[in-house]
Structure 1
Amino acid sequence: MSIYAISDLHLAANDPSKAMDIFGEHWRDHDRKIEKAWREGVAEEDLVLVPGDISWAMHLKDAMADLRFIADLPGKKILLRGNHDFWWNSVTKIRSVLPESMEVLQNNAYRFGAAVICGSRGWVTSAEESSQDYKIYMREAQRLRLSLEAGERLRQEGDKLLVMMHYPPFNDRQENSLFTELYREFGVSLVLYGHLHNLSAGYAFEGEREGVVYRHVSCDYIDFTPQLLDPYLK
């Protein structure tokens, strides 16, 4: 059983106006690229983490075609909300209609093999304290804490803690944040994030920092290919 990750699928089965090739020729037919690479690399017994910006749909019923597309691909999937996932409303409602191979991550955690998966959408980490963004940042930090606490209850000796986020946990100066403080507090081994595309992907930090390994997994950044995480969890 292996663990993979790919973020920012930006699917739009029910809305051709959202074709992603307006952002560059490399996005043309990107859903086919994702499907081909996914089927070539992922087995049914594997787990794929999808940290946000899953579907352009505005409502859950309209997102179902995109969710079924993902569900039909090999493996079990854990989904996290991104900033463009406007269809993501009540977690209870989402869980009630999700295909069997899919789960959602919000204030909870999952154990898979010797890994415990936690996470939060995250938010802008450099917001002014008086701003609405700061309130959201604080809320997302609390959600991450709740998820990590749930993970600690599932964790067995030797398990690695893995965190998936949509937003990067740093600002563009790669300064620490409430999120990175929580990684240290709970002993997180690996953090995945997406959100960054094109020129902004130049701000992505990858590598090890203060004992935590970071991977940026936006699909265009990783050539639309789910990334194997096993080497980072040994």
Structure 2
Amino acid sequence: MNIFAIGDLHLSFANPKPMNIFGELWNDHPEKIRTAWEATVAPEDLVLIPGDISWAMQLEEAKQDLDYIASLPGTKVMIRGNHDYWWSSISKIRKSVDPSIHVLQNDSITIGDVTIAGVRGWDCPGGYKFDEHDRKVYEREVVRLQMSLDHAMNQKARQLIVMLHYPPTNEKHHASGFLEMLTRYPVDKVVYGHLHGKEGHRHALEGVHHGIEFHLTACDYLNFAPLKLTSSKA
């Protein structure tokens, strides 16, 4: 089983919202994603999608976007991003999605030898736009990350990958509650999205820090091709 990650799909089949306002590289991006995905991902593989899946406002409106994801090879695990307004009741979503899709919300799932934990996250203190409203949400999301990691430990995780939508630190890569929490647990890798364009990408936390691999997996950063994280036996 190979493991891939790609986030920030920003699909909008029901009510098209062209993404090329963010640059020509976004032209026909769903087709770019499909072409690269089908060329690299096999049916037995696992693909992590760390949020900003659909621009839809309601679950019913997101159905075409979720059907598109279901049509792609592999098992998919998704978390909520800050633009996933359609994401309401987690139980309702789990009943609605195709069996090839698993959704996480402050918990975890084990597939083969890999356990995936996931929370949305939030902006971190010391960031350029961080304010007191952000602090309340940030502190709540740190607690939710702990809940997710504890859930993973209860499953006796052997290989632990964490999905966040937001990066786990601010633009200056200062210490954060997310980083502190991640280092308390045997986390192997962290994948996240949210950062777009040259300005966003240059703030990415990449490589090994505190013994953990960090990967920005926003689809424009990956040129719309799923990033291969590792391979292991299912």
TM-score greater than 0.5 by the shorter chain: yes
Match of 1:143 in 2: 144
The CA distance in 1 between the partners of 2:175 and 2:50, in whole Å, is 21
Aligned length: 230
Aligned pairs for 1:1-234 within 5 A = 1-16=1-16, 18-126=17-125, 131-156=132-157, 159-198=158-197, 199-230=199-230
The CA distance in 1 between the partners of 2:78 and 2:38, in whole Å, is 18
The Cα shift of 1:168 comes to: 0.2
The Cα shift of 1:231 comes to: 6.2
Q: Which runs of 5+ in 1 are unaligned?
A: none
Q: After superposition, what is the alpha-carbon deviation per residue over 1:97-117, rounded to whole angstroms, capped at 9, x for unaligned?
A: 111111111121111222211
CA change 1:130–1:23 in 2 (3 A) is closer
The Cα shift of 1:210 comes to: 1.1
The CA distance in 1 between the partners of 2:193 and 2:98, in whole Å, is 24
Q: After superposition, what is the alpha-carbon deviation per residue over 1:133-161, rounded to whole angstroms, capped at 9, x for unaligned?
A: 111111111111111011001125xx221
Instruction: Tell me the TM-score normalised to structure 1 length.
Output: 0.94
Identity %: 46
The CA distance in 1 between the partners of 2:86 and 2:118, in whole Å, is 19
Q: Which runs of 5+ in 2 are unaligned?
A: none
CA RMSD of aligned residues (A): 1.8
- Regions of 4+ moved over 3 Å: 127-130
Q: What SS is found at the alignment partner of 1:56?
A: coil
Instruction: Tell me the TM-score normalised to structure 2 length.
Output: 0.94
The Cα shift of 1:220 comes to: 0.4
Q: Retained in 1: the 8 A contact 2:77–2:104?
A: yes
The CA distance in 2 between the partners of 1:212 and 1:231, in whole Å, is 17
Q: What SS is found at the alignment partner of 1:150?
A: helix
CA change 1:127–1:87 in 2 (3 A) is farther
Q: What SS is found at the alignment partner of 2:163?
A: strand
Q: What SS is found at the alignment partner of 1:109?
A: strand
The CA distance in 1 between the partners of 2:82 and 2:93, in whole Å, is 17
More helix by share: 1
The CA distance in 1 between the partners of 2:110 and 2:95, in whole Å, is 21
CA change 1:8–1:92 in 2 (3 A) is same
The CA distance in 2 between the partners of 1:150 and 1:228, in whole Å, is 25
